[in-house]
Amino acid sequence: MTDLDLPALGLGTSQNDDPEECAETVQTALDLGYRHVDTAQMYDNEAAVGEGIRRADVDREDVVVATKVHPDNLAYDDAKRTARESLDRLGLESVDLLYVHWPTSAYDPEETLRAMDELREEGVCDHVGLSNFTPDLLDEARELLESPVVAHQVECHPLFPQRELREYAVEHDHTLVGYSPLGRGEALDDPLLTEIAEKHDTSTAAVCLAWAFAQEALVPIPKATGDHVRANFEAQRLELDDEDLDRIAEYDVTERLIDPDSAAWNQ
Q: What is the pLDDT of residues 120-157, one digit of tens each?
A: 999 999 999 999 999 999 999 999 999 999 999 999 99
pLDDT value of residue 169: 98
Task: Show which residues are catalytic.
Answer: 43
Q: Name the residue type at position 151.
A: A
Q: What is the dihedral angle through the alpha carbons of 99, 105, 108, 114, rounded to the nearest 10 degrees? A: -30
| Residues pairing with 125 in the sheet | 95
Q: Residue 213, by phi and psi: left (phi above 0), alpha (psi -120 to 50) or beta?
A: alpha
What's the pLDDT score for residue 254?
83
Low-confidence ranges of the chain (pLDDT < 50): 1
- 254, with CB counted inside 10 A (0-12, 13-18, 19+), is exposed
- Cα-based distances in Å from 146 to 38, 115, 175, 230: 24, 11, 18, 39
Alpha-carbon distance of 266 to 254, in angstroms, equals: 16
State phi, psi for 68 to the nearest 5 degrees: -135, 145
